[in-house]
């Protein structure tokens, strides 16, 4: 082998783990980058049985694709974290992470020590995050047109979904949107054959226990039982004794007496976490009560909050009628939607709650319509919390210019790491432009020149005409929270991948046990 050939292969041998990881990350990035932007296309995922999922949603693609490489799994876990924390921005986070890793590996192969690259990454990321936060524009109220624009962008230009999501945000109110733990995306449901609808209330995906129970109730009192609705149990061994059987009969009678308080208080809707005994079912049916059993705990809590009820255990029925009345809730109406086979509880006396029902023509697109609506809802809530920034890759280019200034002030080799951040920030814009059918290098130069000349961080490319336009004027905006979290997550996972020097296969734990 010639000396020249040996030298050319040396970087690959020295950095084999790094290059292998970078290739895996590149494969993951390639799977989603074609979906970004208004001209992004869909991806079809097919399993071994031929079942098909067609989606434009980055985290859905990453969740469903078959992946074995550990570095690739790190990127997917980062995207899942972005989805769980923010609810949108997974594709942007993946593209940024891929850009950081690719640029970092390129510098390392050229001879920059990994430690210096990582040092520079941290400097660049700190500047980028500060600039992003500083460029955020607050959303003052729910009537702002910008919220509809946010919903349109995140909702992939589905105007009907954007309208529903913004209407739901208004029904919920600012206080609720800013409440810790509340997610507007949780109010989204999609049903095949349903009409698009937003209303103040909740949906329970259950039908009344029997067809003899009422199907439509007005001005009703509601009881929520976070337990089974049945008598206390007596152990089988005890039933074999006279004393045990007598206790069993006593508990049955006490249960019926306590249950009669439901009738006396005029409670017309009872929701139960677990099962309902035959005796309770018969009595409640006779009293004209609608009973929903085995309701998921999450839905129980939604009903309790919306109606003002306080969930009780079965022993709570022992309370006096006055005390039991204090834990019941109220609603203007509850009825069975026989077509969609669920019960709606409307205009509760507790905290305002909205439900967005998104219709879909076929079963194949129900999931995708729901994902789009959830992305839009998450983005609207994020915009309310931390404001908005220009979309279309504009703000990332503006931030990249600030990072470039930081690089010029950075001494030594860490400057190469800062440059990695600068290059990664240009990736979302370049991919959006490429997906729209334009030359990314040409358009990148046009936009940077226009931003420098005007001092506007909101200039980018119109994906229809290819002209430089103001994204704020065009209504292309993104929540600042989505961008900030995506960049931070991308930086963290990129640093973790760049730090990996060696890949070693772990011993199989089962095999190890067999050795002893």
Asked which of 360, 377, 398 is the last residue of a domain, the reply is 360
**Alpha-carbon span 7 to 5, nearest angstrom:** 5
**Alpha-carbon span 54 to 291, nearest angstrom:** 38
Band (509; pLDDT cuts 50, 70, 90): low
Average pLDDT score over the chain: 86
pLDDT reading at 376 higher than 70: yes
Residues 6+ apart with CB under 8 A from 119: 414, 417
Q: Which of 169-183, 225-239, 316-330, 448-462 has the lowest mean pLDDT?
A: 225-239
pLDDT reading at 297 higher than 50: yes
pLDDT reading at 176 higher than 60: yes
Domain membership of residue 301 (yes or no) is yes
pLDDT reading at 236 higher than 70: no
Q: Which of 12-16, 49-53, 175-179 has the lowest mean pLDDT?
A: 12-16
Estimate the share of the chain in helix, then strand, then coil, as percent rounded to the nearest 5: 55, 15, 30
Average pLDDT over residues 27-35: 86
User: Comparing C-alpha atoms, which of 374, 381, 375, 377 is closest to residue 190?
Assistant: 374
Structure-model confidence comparison of residues 48 and 337, the more confident one:
337
pLDDT value at residue 152 = 92
Indicate whether 272 and 228 sit together in one domain: yes
Task: Dump pLDDT digits (tens) for 468-484.
Answer: 999 999 989 999 999 99
CB 224 within 8 A of CB 310: yes
Which DSSP string do the residues of 471-505 spell out, in sequence order? Answer: HHHHT-EEEHHHHHHHHHHHHHHHHHHHT-----P
Structure-model confidence comparison of residues 318 and 233, the more confident one:
318
**Alpha-carbon span 328 to 349, nearest angstrom:** 10
pTM over 0.85: no
Indicate whether 347 and 411 sit together in one domain: no
Band (6; pLDDT cuts 50, 70, 90): very low
User: Comparing C-alpha atoms, which of 488, 478, 479 is closest to residue 127?
Assistant: 488
Indicate whether 105 and 201 sit together in one domain: no
Indicate whether 312 and 426 sit together in one domain: no
pLDDT reading at 21 higher than 60: yes
Percentage, residues of the chain above pLDDT 90:
52
How long is the chain? 516
**Alpha-carbon span 305 to 375, nearest angstrom:** 24
Band (242; pLDDT cuts 50, 70, 90): low
Question: Which CATH number is 269's domain given?
Answer: 3.50.7.10
Average pLDDT over residues 366-395: 91
CA-angle at 279, arms to 295 and 283, nearest 5°: 85
pLDDT reading at 3 higher than 80: no
Residues 6+ apart with CB under 8 A from 89: 82, 478, 482, 483, 485, 486
**Alpha-carbon span 148 to 188, nearest angstrom:** 17
Domain membership of residue 512 (yes or no) is no
Average pLDDT over residues 283-310: 93
Indicate whether 354 and 301 sit together in one domain: yes
pLDDT reading at 47 higher than 90: no
pLDDT value at residue 348 = 92
pLDDT value at residue 224 = 94
Band (67; pLDDT cuts 50, 70, 90): confident
Domain membership of residue 5 (yes or no) is no
Band (427; pLDDT cuts 50, 70, 90): very high
**Alpha-carbon span 174 to 159, nearest angstrom:** 22
pLDDT reading at 421 higher than 90: yes
Which DSSP string do the residues of 215-264 spell out, in sequence order? Answer: SEEEEEEEEEESS-BSPPP--HHHHTSHHHHHHHHHHHHHHHHHHHHHHH
Which DSSP string do the residues of 47-61 spell out, in sequence order? Answer: -TT--EEEE--HHHH
User: Comparing C-alpha atoms, which of 63, 66, 61, 24 is closest to residue 42?
Assistant: 61
pLDDT reading at 4 higher than 50: no
Indicate whether 208 and 337 sit together in one domain: yes
Indicate whether 348 and 393 sit together in one domain: no
Task: Dump pLDDT digits (tens) for 209-230.
Answer: 999 999 999 999 999 999 888 8
First to last CA, the chain: 47
Task: Dump pLDDT digits (tens) for 264-278.
Answer: 999 999 999 999 988
Question: Which CATH number is 438's domain given?
Answer: 1.10.560.10
pLDDT reading at 508 higher than 70: no
User: Comparing C-alpha atoms, which of 257, 155, 216 is closest to residue 344?
Assistant: 216
Q: What does residue 457 show for φ and ψ, rounded to 5 degrees?
A: -90, 5
Indicate whether 20 and 131 sit together in one domain: yes
Domain membership of residue 157 (yes or no) is no
CB 87 within 8 A of CB 183: yes
pLDDT reading at 169 higher than 60: yes
pLDDT value at residue 11 = 53
pLDDT value at residue 167 = 92
Which DSSP string do the residues of 345-366 spell out, in sequence order? Answer: EEEESSS--EEEEEEESSGGGH
pLDDT reading at 486 higher than 50: yes
Indicate whether 83 and 39 sit together in one domain: yes
> Which domain covers residue 270, as residue numbers?
197-360
Indicate whether 406 and 276 sit together in one domain: no
Indicate whether 337 and 409 sit together in one domain: no
pLDDT value at residue 44 = 78
Band (377; pLDDT cuts 50, 70, 90): very high
Number of domains in the chain: 2
User: Hey, which residues does 223 pair with through a beta bridge?
Assistant: 270
pLDDT value at residue 514 = 52
CB count, 10 Å around CB of 11?
15
Structure-model confidence comparison of residues 94 and 45, the more confident one:
94
- Helices 16-33 and 70-85: crossing angle in degrees, nearest 10, is 40
CB 191 within 8 A of CB 370: no
Domain membership of residue 344 (yes or no) is yes
Domain membership of residue 227 (yes or no) is yes
Domain membership of residue 2 (yes or no) is no
Indicate whether 313 and 206 sit together in one domain: yes
pLDDT value at residue 1 = 41
Task: Dump pLDDT digits (tens) for 323-373.
Answer: 999 999 999 999 999 888 899 999 999 988 888 888 887 776 788 888 889
CB count, 10 Å around CB of 151?
27
> 471, exposed or middle or buried, with CB in 10 Å at 0-12, 13-18, 19+?
buried
Residues 6+ apart with CB under 8 A from 200: 171, 346, 347, 352, 353, 354
Domain membership of residue 65 (yes or no) is yes
């Amino acid at each position: 082998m010639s000396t020249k050939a040996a030298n050319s292969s040396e970087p690959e041998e020295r950095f084999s783990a790094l290059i292998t990881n970078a290739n895996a990350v590149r494969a993951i990035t390639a799977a989603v980058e074609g979906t970004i932007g208004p001209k992004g296309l869909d991806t079809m995922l097919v399993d071994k049985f031929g079942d098909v999922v067609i989606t434009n949603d980055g985290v859905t693609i990453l969740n469903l694709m078959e992946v074995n490489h550990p570095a690739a799994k790190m990127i997917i876990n980062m995207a899942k974290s972005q989805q769980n924390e923010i609810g949108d921005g997974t594709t942007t986070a993946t593209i940024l992470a891929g850009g950081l890793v690719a640029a970092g590996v390129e510098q390392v192969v050229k001879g920059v020590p990994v430690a210096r690259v990582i040092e520079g990454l941290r400097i660049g990321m700190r500047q980028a995050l500060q600039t992003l936060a500083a460029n955020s524009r607050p959303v003052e109220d729910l009537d702002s047109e910008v919220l509809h624009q946010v919903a349109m962008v995140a909702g992939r230009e589905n105007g009907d979904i954007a309208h529903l999501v913004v209407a739901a945000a208004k029904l919920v109110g600012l206080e609720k949107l800013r409440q810790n733990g509340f997610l507007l995306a949780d109010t989204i449901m999609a049903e095949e054959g349903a009409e698009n609808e937003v209303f103040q209330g909740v949906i329970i995906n259950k039908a009344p226990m029997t067809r003899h129970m009422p199907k439509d109730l007005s001005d009703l009192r509601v009881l929520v039982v976070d337990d089974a609705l049945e008598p206390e149990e007596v152990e089988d061994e005890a039933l074999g004794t006279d004393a045990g059987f007598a206790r069993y009969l006593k508990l049955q009678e006490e249960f019926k007496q306590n249950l009669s308080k439901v009738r006396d208080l005029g409670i017309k809707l009872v929701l139960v976490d677990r099962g309902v005994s035959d005796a309770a079912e018969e009595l409640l049916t006779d009293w004209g009560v609608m009973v929903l059993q085995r309701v998921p705990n999450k839905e129980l809590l939604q009903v309790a909050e919306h109606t003002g009820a306080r969930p009780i255990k079965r022993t709570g029925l022992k309370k006096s009628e006055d005390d039991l009345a204090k834990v019941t809730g109220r609603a203007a109406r509850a009825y069975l939607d026989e077509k969609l086979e669920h019960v709606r509880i409307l205009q509760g006396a507790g905290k305002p709650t909205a439900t967005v029902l998104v219709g879909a023509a076929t079963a194949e697109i129900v999931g995708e319509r729901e994902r789009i609506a959830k992305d839009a809802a998450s983005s609207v809530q994020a915009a309310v919390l931390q404001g908005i920034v220009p979309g279309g890759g504009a703000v990332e280019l503006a931030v990249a210019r600030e990072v470039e200034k930081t690089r010029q002030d950075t001494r030594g080799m860490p400057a190469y790491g800062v440059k990695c951040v600068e290059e990664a920030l240009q990736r979302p814009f370049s991919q959006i432009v490429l997906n729209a059918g334009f030359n990314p290098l040409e358009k990148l130069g046009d936009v940077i020149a226009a931003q420098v000349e005007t001092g506007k961080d909101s200039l980018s490319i119109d994906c229809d005409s290819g002209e430089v336009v103001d994204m704020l004027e065009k209504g292309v905006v993104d929540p600042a929270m989505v961008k900030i979290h995506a960049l931070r997550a991308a930086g963290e996972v990129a640093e973790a991948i760049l730090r990996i020097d060696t890949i070693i296969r772990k011993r199989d734990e089962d095999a190890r046990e067999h050795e002893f």
